[in-house]
Structure 1
Amino acid sequence: MEQDSDEQLMLQYQAGSADAFDVLYQRHRKPMYNYLLQQCRNRAIADELFQDIWMKLISARESYQVRALFKTWLYHLAHNRLIDHYRHSQIRQAEQNGHLSPTPDQLADNPGAQPDCLLDTQQQIQQLMGLVQNLPADQRDVFLLHEEAGLELKDIAYVTSCAYETVKSRLRYAIKRLRDGMDHD
């Protein structure tokens, strides 16, 4: 079962195999969670979205059809759930504040002091994470789907409902902005 493709596993899960679901979950949980955490920068929200996406997958198992790679389909679910989350949070903020304002970003918890030899690396990682968060939303989404989720450009085009060339351009501009930002400091 470990060697079966994701699509085969999903079809096995559709037929009632809980073991197939377990293999899918183990394969995709870390990259999916990292993608969500990078997108929303809040562990509690990432946890909620992560759970919602897997519940959506469970609910959709009866209607699942192999139309694209499973991974592409899964990240399509995640992308749509993120869009829903952003819409709802913007509406709540507008109601509370009378306008839209971004929530403060929080970096992943960093227990204890880092050794001096790792300080520069840690600072570079935090700088890069900050730069990623400051990318325009469409570029950030494409960049994270490519780097965190490991999706190919054609799959990102499917997930985001954008043309392939648009995705390619957004990724190129995102990488250029990140390089320029890292070189600037």
Structure 2
Amino acid sequence: MPKEEMIGSNRMLAPCASELSDGQVVRAVVAGNSDLFEELIKRHQKPLVNFLYRMVGDLDLALDMAQDVFTKAFVALKRYDERFRFTTWLYRIASNNAIDHLRRHRPVTVSLDQPLPGGDGEMTLEMPSRSATPAQELEFRETARRLSEAVKALPPAYRQLILLRHVQHLRYDEIAEVSGLPLGTVKNRIFRARALLRRLLDGEEEGEPRAAASLEAGRRGGNAPRCIGRRASRRRQ
């Protein structure tokens, strides 16, 4: 099919496809309308790349991994269980890819279930909110920068859970499905990850890398790349 004709075909599909739920689109793709998979890519590409970028810390690698995730999802689509949200299933593939990469390139020697000293059972992660005055906005940016650096310093498995919970806003049961961990383990590790984050933010952990952007700023477009769609589109051609 000529490129111009293919683009025109996608434009005709878009208005109808945009009204369908993820599950309906999946069923249509499995039934033979493979062009509709583009609708799933369009919906989930940016947040997926954002998640992968924050996991691996490299934009080009995150774009490549997102392409691989969508390819794996397309191939395995017939095995998708509609009892779970499509995003839960998609992020399980993405999380596995990211964790596998980080284990190969940055082996983790920290025990994820070892008790952290100083935990009081009430530790929570407080995400910064936007402020009205310039001084408060500056304080927000500095807090957000330090938070993002602390997240990058977490062991990959902790980082995965924090991002799924506080950036992707998945429920605990969905995180358990994504990570393949028991629900109790998920809650326990998120607690420990928050406690470790608090220690990093309080400066108790020395020698940790410090350079990145905030979790929330990426969701607002402050640090996340804005050419994701075009870049990934070129890679698919």
Report the TM-score when normalising by structure 1. 0.74
Equivalent residues of 1:76, 1:159 under 8 A apart: yes
Counterpart residue number, 1:166: 185
Q: Distance in 2 between matches of 1:123 and 1:54?
A: 35
Counterpart residue number, 1:20: 36
Equivalent residues of 1:7, 1:70 under 8 A apart: yes
Aligned match for 1:56, one of 49, 72, 86:
72
Structure 1 residues 128-166: Cα deviation after superposition (integer angstroms, max 9, x where no partner): 111111223322111111122222111111111111011
The count of corresponding residues between Structure 1 and Structure 2 is 162
Amino acid at match of 1:135: L
Structure 1: runs of 5 or more not aligned: 91-99, 102-115
Counterpart residue number, 2:143: 124
Counterpart residue number, 1:70: 86
Alignment of 1:59-98 (within 5 A): 59-90=75-106
- Does residue 176 of structure 2 align to residue 157 of structure 1? yes
Amino acid at match of 1:133: K
Counterpart residue number, 2:59: 43
Equivalent residues of 2:80, 2:89 under 8 A apart: no
Amino acid at match of 1:178: L
Percent identity of equivalent pairs? 32
Structure 1 residues 51-87: Cα deviation after superposition (integer angstroms, max 9, x where no partner): 1111112222344443522111101111121133224
Q: Distance in 1 between matches of 2:154 and 2:61?
A: 20
Equivalent residues of 1:142, 1:156 under 8 A apart: yes
